[in-house]
Structure 1
Amino acid sequence: MSHRHVVSPHRFRSDAGGAYDDLVLNDRQLLEAFDVARTEQALVMVQCKGFDTIRFMTERLERAGKTEPF
């Protein structure tokens, strides 16, 4: 795979609805990806978000009825 141009989808949690929850990797999955990348001499790019913090704050705001942008 490292010998071809590979385009990966940009994966992150960006909405209050949790549409991307199933795309978040846990620590083990991320380490497995790093391991495969090393074998394939590929580069892994990771965008880190405070996923648990974002989810916590989103749920808290939704419970308070604060769902409008302003």
Structure 2
Amino acid sequence: MFITISAVLTSLIAALTVGGKAVCKTIAIYKSTDIIMFTGRMMYVGKVISRIFKIKTPLRKSSKTAV
């Protein structure tokens, strides 16, 4: 009984994985431009936010002595 349940669950998970991948590939093909534009916008927003919160630290003098 355990083997049957295990095989059924494994088959179900595999089917959902393959089906989900096919659906996502279809969406990616038809919406590729929108996905690229959204990704570009998010990267730009991340860059702007990182510049806003960037803290400049003063330069430290080197503690090394000349030899």
- Using structure 2 for the length normalisation, give the TM-score: 0.27
Q: Which has the larger radius of gyration?
A: 2
Report which structure shows greater RCO (CA 8 Å, sep ≥6). 1
User: Which of the pair is proportionally richer in helix?
Assistant: 2
- Using structure 1 for the length normalisation, give the TM-score: 0.27
